[in-house]
Structure 1
Amino acid sequence: MDLEKHPQRPAAPAEPEGIRASDADRDRIADILREAMAEGRLTADEHAERVDSVYRAKTVGELEPLVRDLPIPGGVPRAAAAPAADVPEEPAGPADNLVAIFSSSTRKGRWRVGARTNAFALFGSVEIDLTEALFGQRLTVINATSVFGSVEIRVPENISLRGSGTGIFGNFEVVTLESPEPEAPVVVVNGYSVFGSVEAKPKRGKFIADLQDRVRKHLDKHLDRNLGKHLGH
């Protein structure tokens, strides 16, 4: 065959929906789901199911349907918003990991809570005490897994605590708590236990000091940052 007369045809570029999803793409969709959960648009079960699908997705086209029925952060309907590629991405750092294998791992005292925490106990114990922690975001998700071990999570009484999970020959218990403060942080605990236990409940008598003032300052800072981005363009 004459290669000069029949040059090899270059591969056609992939359609936008067929492009492989990056970690930033997944984090952007997860952020939208977190906002929807905090606003009451998704239940804890729906949120957990969609987040699981987010991190299983391989292409951009698999991600978009997961938030098609939700507004983008800020309350703007997706149909009236700019295309996803033009939406500024919220900063999303890596998840915090607490692992205990034939050992124990504890996080307590005054510390800044990240948006996501993974807790894993295998023949060990993990303790997460949020009663003196600083919340830098409305929604905090803790994925807890216990295999022949225990994961114990304590929260102050003036935040919202939600979650769902499965106990297989073990115990998975989340004591649901709804804060009367509309802007209070929300902690969602998901996961499962196998021959072990996962327990999340409020710690009696422990409260976040100056909750409203702290949340208001955080929201003001967030709004100022977004306004600065828009003015800078």
Structure 2
Amino acid sequence: MTDERPQKPLPELRASDADRERVVERLRDAVAEGRLDMEEFEERLEAAYTSRTYAELEPLTRDLPAPGSTAAPSPVQAGPDGSWPGRIGAGGPPATSATAVAVMSSFQRKGNWTVPARFNAVAFWGSGELDLREADFAEREVVINCVAIMGGIEIKVPPGVEVDVRGIGVMGAFDRREDPGSPVPGGPRVIVTGLAFWGGVEVRVKPPKSAKPPKSQRAEEVERSERSDRAAEPGTSAERSDGGGPNLRKEP
């Protein structure tokens, strides 16, 4: 004899901790992609952790694309150079290794290279330079672990990249002088950690080499005014003879 009782509708089923965590993970991705602002994220996060059934969880992601969906992608805001969406997890040129070591020498990582999820940099009586302005990123969040012993490591990041400096300095310092500005939605997050002993790790914010700020209208006006002033000075073409040379007058 078969059981003819109607099955309980799926939305009425109780949700598990794993179900709630899957929803929370989608909400985190939506924030990183700029689909939700922080206020919306916090509201939905609280609702997700207090939900008891699928019916309560489903509305929290109803207006978000399914994981891995490419049918109707929404615009993702790009970074300062307009290329972040294609530079994170895109599998660009691989780094030669996830470690760089300078012992009484130096190392450089610059240009078009891929920053792995975790990168170790060591400078002992030496120096190192990590330039991330034109780099690709294996993941949205990367960790750069620096050990500078009587040496120095410089890290260059473009504006808009979120930077979290957590290193410890012992008779040394982890220094971030410039303000990277507000993080760009969809951009990478760089965590700088490690130890500086009689050494230093410096994080600098610099625009990409290819990005040249446009000349302001005021600067152009000043430049034109300076050219006009130079043209009116004595000895210029305004006081030259028809032959092209200076129009010199002899004293009587």
TM-score by length of 2: 0.43
TM-score by length of 1: 0.47
Who wins on radius of gyration, i.e. which is larger? 2
User: Whose helix fraction is larger, Structure 1's or Structure 2's?
Assistant: 1
